[in-house]
Amino acid sequence: MANGRDAYFLNNKGIRILVAVLAFLASYLVSYILDPFAAYWQHYFERKPLLILGDWLVSFLYCLSISEINIAIGMRLNRLMSWKEHPGKRLILETCFNLIAVLLLNLLINIAFIYLSDEKQLLLLESGMTIEETRGIIQWMVVSTIIAIMIMGINIGNYLIMNWRNEAIQVAQLNQAAMEAELQSLKLQIDPHFVFNNLSVLSELILEDQQLGYEYAENFSRIYRYMLVNSKKDVIPLEDELKFLHSYMFLIEHRFGEGVLFEIDVDPAHRHLLMPPLTLQLLVENALKHNRTSKKEPLVVRIFSNEDKELIVENTLLPLEKPIQSSGIGIANIVRRFNLLSHRQPVIETDDRTFKVIIPLIKI
């Protein structure tokens, strides 16, 4: 059963009158096309203006009646039979009901005409109709049917378009809500290794060097403050990510010593561009997790931008003897966030020596 609250284009009174006016004009046009040499048209404008205006008024009221009946039938059927579930039956039923309504309306008009006729007109009716009069009645029925079908087509077409548009809006809103929920979930994902490793280093530094432990704790708190402040943001400027990275590098230097080297060369003209928060942290942590680090053969992490307004994060490949099972949070998180935020996607390139992730920077 269709929802009685479905959008209905012709609920607007102004548009309903406009449709009736169009039907009124179409009735004269169709009538003329069917028989342009009829006596009705031969001396049409030779009649008195009042007669012409009366003719127009009657025709308009007739078209308005057909339009209103058509709308009433459509709205009633909307509550009883859905276009989605039974399109064929619905079309047949609506067409039949409208044709029956036109026949009944014409029958009522003829009865009213007979009832209001004087004795002279009744005598003419009793004497029988001429061929011209019979042709005129048939023509009027054809015109009435065409007008009814035309109004029904407008009514049905706009009803379907309005409901399709409303459903498209609802689907878009649901998709947007789902995307926002997924994005929020992704933004809150933090690799547990990052937390445990840094807390372990912090506890050791506090025992060995309280001042260094204090600095480490200060940078660690800056990082977490950054995470909390930006957890609800979709994107942030690259400049902010680089500032965050400097605090993160302080932690790394004390975790790995000279086993990790950073090379950063980002064009100042690109620093205002945007990217998802914590992208650099996830990429650097991913490199540290899956590669060995040593003073003799340090892990080199390069971060630079190119002319295509892309940020490249590249690291040398120094595979661990026993690869660590990945949690899937790092790279997958970045790719999924870009799927939700941009039509451009990160590109991952790897060879025997390097692992590279190309991040498209987002314009404001």
Q: How many CB atoms lie within 10 A of CB 222?
A: 17
Q: What is the pTM (predicted TM-score) of this model? A: 0.50
- All domains of the chain in start order, with CATH: 9-186 (no CATH), 193-360 (3.30.565.10)
Using one digit for the tens of pLDDT, what is the confidence trace for 88-117?
888 888 888 888 888 888 788 777 766 665
Residue 364 in contact with residue 272, Cβ under 8 Å? yes
With the CA atoms of 151, 154, 156 and 159 taken in that order, what torsion angle do they form, in degrees rounded to the nearest 10?
A: -130
For 85, phi then psi, to 5°, come to: -80, -40
Spell out the alpha helix ranges (H) of the chain: 13-34, 39-42, 49-80, 87-116, 119-126, 131-187, 192-208, 210-230, 238-256, 279-290, 330-341
For all residues of the chain together, what is the average pLDDT? 80
User: Per-residue pLDDT averaged across 21-35, rounded?
Assistant: 82
Three-state secondary-structure class, residue 84 = coil
> How confident is the model at residue 286, as a pLDDT?
87
Report CA-CA distances (Å) from 210 to 96, 197, 255: 91, 18, 16
Would you place residue 86 in the very low, low, confident or very high pLDDT band (cuts 50, 70, 90)? Answer: confident
| Contacts of residue 295, Cβ cutoff 8 Å, sequence gap at least 6 | 257, 258, 259
Please check whether residue 195 is in contact with residue 352, taking contact to mean a CB–CB distance below 8 angstroms: no
Residue 296 tokens read as: 């003799």
> Is pLDDT at 350 greater than 90 in this prediction?
yes
251-269 pLDDT tens trace: 888 888 899 999 999 999 9
**Confidence (pLDDT) at 162:** 79
Chain CA centroid to CA 195, Å: 39
pLDDT tens per residue across span 289-301:
889 999 999 999 9
Amino acid letter for position 100 = I
